[in-house]
């Protein structure tokens, strides 16, 4: 499937999801950034940007986990991960895993995208990923390190045709010997996005090679 087509499919799926799941939403909890959190722990708690805490409910990435990836990280309590087999691409990466927030009371996903190994650095990969998403503005990039990995993260606004307004989205990227990885957090709207940020921070701060 060509670049952009997968993104369109995800927006359509998001609209279908909205039709049936607009009740019972509650705030998600979130994650930590210490050296200890470089290794997953089922009891870890990580504070998000607003001070809320997300408990770790498990990990993805390692062999035998729901999604086998070049990296591993903690997933927030009650979020459920599932490997994606359909070839949906955005920029230089292909969708490999969806981590669903609905069981935790939010509408949205952490989506993990993986690519083939090459010479591109994390910033180049992330910029290409964002550029492949129509309706993006206000990108703010910054560097981070976690679990011995150096990466780049971005916050930006996406012009949602469904809601006819702009909403916040976030993503981070790292490169590994097995290829680049992008982890993206969208959400129904900005409010949902911000409620799910602790789960995103938990993933970023516990990240390490699988």
Distance CA 172, CA 125 (A): 10
Give the Å distances, CA to CA, from 111 to 10, 24, 139: 11, 22, 19
**In this predicted structure, what is the pLDDT of residue 210?**
84
Closest CA to 75 of 209, 196, 156: 196
Cα dihedral sign, 50-55-60-61: positive
Q: What is the pLDDT of residue 53?
A: 66
- Superfamily in which the 5-21+30-209 domain is placed by CATH: Mog1/PsbP, alpha/beta/alpha sandwich (3.40.1000.10)
Q: Is the dihedral of CA 143, 124, 203, 139 positive or negative?
A: positive
Between 182 and 35, residue with greater pLDDT: 182
Q: Rounded CA gap, 36 and 33, in Å?
A: 8
Q: Answer yes or no: are the C-beta atoms of 56 and 42 closer than 8 Å.
A: yes
What does pTM read for this prediction? 0.78
In this predicted model, what pLDDT tens digit does every residue of 188-202 receive, in sequence order?
A: 999 999 999 999 999
Give me the pLDDT at residue 119, please: 83
Average pLDDT, the chain: 82
Cα separations (Å) of 116 from 95, 109, 146? 12, 23, 21
Q: What's the pLDDT score for residue 54?
A: 78
> How many alpha carbons fall within 13 Å on the CB side of residue 87?
4
| The CA-based dihedral angle spanning residues 103, 107, 110, 115, taken in that order and rounded to the nearest 10 degrees | 120
- Give percent of the chain above pLDDT 70: 74
Closest CA to 50 of 207, 206, 204, 200: 200
**pLDDT tens column, 13-25:** 444 444 343 333 3
Residue 190, number of CB atoms within 10 A of its CB:
17
């Amino acid at each position: 499937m060509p670049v952009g087509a997968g993104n369109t499919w995800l927006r359509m799926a998001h609209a279908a999801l909205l039709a049936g799941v607009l009740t019972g939403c509650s705030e998600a909890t979130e994650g930590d950034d210490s050296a200890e959190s470089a290794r997953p722990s089922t009891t870890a708690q990580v504070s998000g940007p607003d001070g809320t805490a997300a408990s770790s409910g498990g990990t993805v990435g390692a062999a035998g986990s729901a999604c086998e990836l070049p990296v591993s990280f903690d997933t927030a309590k009650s979020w459920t991960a599932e490997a994606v087999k359909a070839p949906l691409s955005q920029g230089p990466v292909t969708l490999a895993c969806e981590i669903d927030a609905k069981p935790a009371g939010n509408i949205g996903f952490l989506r993990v995208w993986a690519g083939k190994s090459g010479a591109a650095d994390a910033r180049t990969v992330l910029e290409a990923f964002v550029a492949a998403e129509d309706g993006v503005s206000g990108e703010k990039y910054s560097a981070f390190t976690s679990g011995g990995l150096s990466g780049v993260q971005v916050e930006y606004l996406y012009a949602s045709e469904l809601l006819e307004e702009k909403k916040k989205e976030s993503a981070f990227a790292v490169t590994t010997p097995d290829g680049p990885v992008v982890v993206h957090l969208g959400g129904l709207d900005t409010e949902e996005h911000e409620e799910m940020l602790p789960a995103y921070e938990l993933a970023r701060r516990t990240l390490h090679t699988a």
